[in-house]
Amino acid sequence: MADRPGSSVIPFAPTPGAGGELPALALQGLVIERGGKRLLDGLTARLPRSGITAVMGPNGAGKSLALRAIMGLIPVNSGAVWMHPSVAGAVALVFQRPVLLRRSVRANLAHALKVFGVPRRERPQRLTELIRLGGLTNLADRPARALSGGEQQRVAMVRAFAAQPRLLLLDEPTASLDPQHTGAIEWLIRTAAEGGAKVILVTHDNGQAHRLADDVLFLHHGRALEHTSRSRFFDRPVSAEARAYLAGDLLL
């Protein structure tokens, strides 16, 4: 509670990039320390106004932390987050390990619609739409927490869509999905991006990044080591760490 997403944004003015365009999101030297360890270590990045940005990097690189810092869910020790006015206030995050309420699938989605301020009379129709979108028709009246791993992930995904977000933060949204549902969710993500929403997609699936991403932000030990177009990242990575990551070497 307390801080709404975006409310902890510290106003710093990012300089316009190429073509005078302001970024969708700018991170300025984010530092998060816990127990004497620097978990985010001066993370700086400017994410383009539109399209899908893949965030990649080894386990523990700080990908999930960065998303939570962007949402204002965890206090940062220093640094700032800036959001483009067109996205601030319409941000949704799908967690790596989604938490569903102790209610039916339908009630979870209805709750989200209510929280997101959808007028009462529009809700039934939106609800039906969301259920269809997630392929949840047969599951709608099940207790949400009794669903299978992949089913829960789909519920969390469409719950985020209930907010009609302009900035969508997705933390490995297809990690437990079967290939069919992965395809369906990737279609949803692409559609959202084509509809103008900015998408930030954390993934370990190189194939997925290949299929979806416009640009790739590579994190390592809490820093952005590389931020470049998809094709450049996969074909000609600059940093030794990214090369090693893509080569599948252990980076411990």
Partner 1 sequence: MDPFSSAFVAALELIASLDPNLLEVIGLSLRVSLTALALACLIGLPLGALLAVVRFPGRGAVVVLVSALMGLPPVVVGLVVYVTFSASGPLGPLQLLYTPTVMVVAQAILVTPIVAALARQVIADLNVEYDETLRSMGTSGRMTIATLVWDARYSLLTAALAGLGRALAEVGAVMIVGGNINHVTRMMTTAIALETSRGDLSMAMALGIILIALTIAINGAVMAVRNGMERRAYG
Minimum CB distance to ligand ATP, residue 130 (Å): 17
- Looking at residues 36 to 65 of the shown chain, list those that interact with Mg ion (rule: CB under 5 A): 64
Q: Per rule CB under 5 A, is residue 96 in the interface with Mg ion?
A: yes
Q: Which residues sit opposite 31 in a β-bridge?
A: 41, 78
**Is residue 204 exposed (0-12), middle (13-18) or buried (19+ Cβ within 10 Å)?**
middle
Instruction: Tell me how far the alpha carbon of residue 85 is from its chain's centroid.
Output: 18
- 31 SS3 class: strand
Interface map 151-180 toward a second copy (x if CB under 8 A): x--x----------------xx--xxxxxx
**Residue 155 to residues 94, 127, 131: CA-CA distances in angstroms?**
10, 12, 8
Whose tokens are 């080894």? That residue is: 58
- 58 SS3 class: coil
Query: Are the CB atoms for 24 and 215 separated by under 8 Å?
Result: no
Give the single-character DSSP code of 14: P
Please pick, from the candidates 29, 51, 80, 116, the single residue that binds partner 1 as defined by CB under 8 A.
Answer: 116
Closer of 111 and 221 to a second copy (Cβ) = 221
Q: Per rule CB under 8 A, is residue 18 in the interface with partner 1?
A: no
Please pick, from the candidates 124, 149, 183, 196, the single residue that binds Mg ion as defined by CB under 5 A.
Answer: 149
Distance between CA atoms of residues 97 and 81, nearest Å: 24
Q: Per rule CB under 8 A, is residue 98 in the interface with partner 1?
A: yes
Q: Which residues are at the interface with partner 1 (CB under 8 A)?
A: 1-5, 34-35, 68, 71-73, 92-93, 95, 98-99, 101-103, 111-112, 114-116, 143, 146, 163
**Which positions touch Mg ion (CB under 5 A)?**
64, 96, 148-149
Q: Which residues bind a second copy (CB under 8 A)?
A: 34-35, 57-60, 63-65, 96-97, 135, 138-139, 142, 146-151, 154, 171-172, 175-184, 204, 206, 244-246, 248-252
